[in-house]
Structure 1
């Protein structure tokens, strides 16, 4: 093999060197571009995801945490109570009066418990106190085979009358309910017999007479400080049966303590509005005998 000697070997090497430099540079550009595309493609979703997360966090910060509405709370408590197997009468309280939601929510933990030995600040000397049967201080107490909150409107009314007339804040709905149960004043459906209204007051030193009072007679009794317990039929106060206490009369307006409703108790009523719903009336005073 014959080798030809180059006339200008240094110049030739320079050209070859330049050629390889150009090739290498081009390769680097291509490789760098490819990596850039890959990195760009891989990084874009992360950037977008991070951006969305920040937006969501900002929206959450601006909106604040979700606050459960009263309606949502009632439905949640209803589902929880149903799942836990609470008595039907307890769950139905939610439909009859939404204000009972706390009572129903706490039923599983507090059923059968009594949390007060007296009526506390509800007692005002010289007045017939307003007591609510689903008050958690005594609403979980048993009455018959039920509880005061569900079936204890009768004992709660008697507790109002006895505590007020006897000036005794230790007379609570739970204690009166216990007396009613022990003395069999409760029927098999946990309704209070009318005989309880006629007779039970004697246990607290009260006398009682029953009769359907005219508006004039009612006004005279209430003005004399004699509260009147009424058995009510369907209407403003109940769909079935209920007991309330009439506590005062002024300018044609009757003040009523409804043991199931602070709303009904917070307004006055005319005789004409409610007399057709009254099924029976009992008038109370201190027994002078």
Structure 2
């Protein structure tokens, strides 16, 4: 049976109107959400482009800025006997680095041997650039825990911890201290004596007469001097088998070197190990040479004397 109800019909019209309004509102919301998503994605794209090209821009900007290469990456050639004029030319060619420019502008403030060493070894630039302040404020050298834990730590004679400290005839460890630096490496490597720094060994050598004026560090530092630090020492022939056998027995070798890859006159290096590629050594003057493996054939003609050093207590 059908009955007519005007109030009910009125309510239905209101419901339909409300549903229509809701649909319109949902449509508007959907449009706004889509617009916001598109806008956000549009804003993100330029950022992605910046990230993509930032390394290229950075490289282009850095290309015009002189950057000191990390010392271990610098290739160092065999030393040359530069004249004073050649040293000046060499340093002048590097004045794009403001540290060289500063040095060239004040060359009278630096010892000539130090400038010649810098011309031969660019690893020294930081030390030479800071030389004046280091000389005015010398300090007692120290050894890090990391160095104490190494089999044979590399002590560079021009390290800022001790390089400016006096050693020899109006000289310093940076220029003349290869002997004390080499022995310090051996003492620390074999006995872990943290007081055996290159500056301590340099002072010891001067007080005990192991430095000869006009010549340099005496060979007796590697025997009598080493004994005072608890090491035994003996001389062996320049023989590959003997060298390897003594390394196998836990000894380190200190070699006095003649003219060649390491020096123009005289120098001390430490050999502490070997493998199939050659001998592993520490050159107190050069990081680059210390990171190379050296064959016996390459070394034998340059070696003047070899000492085997061992810990007496081992």
- Give the structure-2-normalised TM-score: 0.67
Shift in CA distance, 191/80, structure 1 to aligned 2, threshold 3 Å: farther
Q: Matched residues in 2 for 1:87 and 1:122: separation?
A: 32
Matches within 5 A, 1:100-119: 100-111=124-135, 113-119=137-143
Greater relative contact order: 1 or 2 (C-alpha under 8 angstroms, separation 6 or more)?
2
Aligned residue among 246, 260, 268 for 1:243? 268
Q: Matched residues in 2 for 1:143 and 1:215: separation?
A: 33
Q: Deviations over 1:63-105 (max 9, x none)?
A: 7996346522364144234133x22112222112111111111
* SS of equivalent to 2:301: helix
Q: Matched residues in 2 for 1:167 and 1:142: separation?
A: 25
Aligned to 1:204: 229
Structure possessing the higher radius of gyration over alpha carbons:
1
User: Across the two proteins, how many residue pairs are aligned to each other?
Assistant: 227
Aligned-pair distance for 1:115? 3.8
Aligned residue among 64, 67, 72 for 2:65? 67
Aligned to 2:56: none
CA RMSD for the aligned pairs?
Answer: 2.3
Unpaired runs of at least 5, structure 1: 1-61
Aligned to 1:36: none
Shift in CA distance, 231/153, structure 1 to aligned 2, threshold 3 Å: same
Aligned-pair distance for 1:246? 0.3
* SS of equivalent to 1:111: helix
Unpaired runs of at least 5, structure 2: 1-59, 69-93
Deviates more, 1:63-72 or 1:208-217: 63-72
Matches within 5 A, 1:1-289: 67-68=65-66, 71-72=94-95, 73=97, 75-84=100-109, 86-111=110-135, 113-125=137-149, 127-144=151-168, 145-189=170-214, 191-251=216-276, 253-288=278-313
- Contact 1:207–1:285, Cα closer than 8 Å, also in 2: yes
- Give the structure-1-normalised TM-score: 0.72
Aligned to 1:25: none
Q: Matched residues in 2 for 1:204 and 1:163: separation?
A: 10
Aligned-pair distance for 1:198? 1.8
Q: Matched residues in 2 for 1:230 and 1:110: separation?
A: 30
Aligned-pair distance for 1:114? 3.9
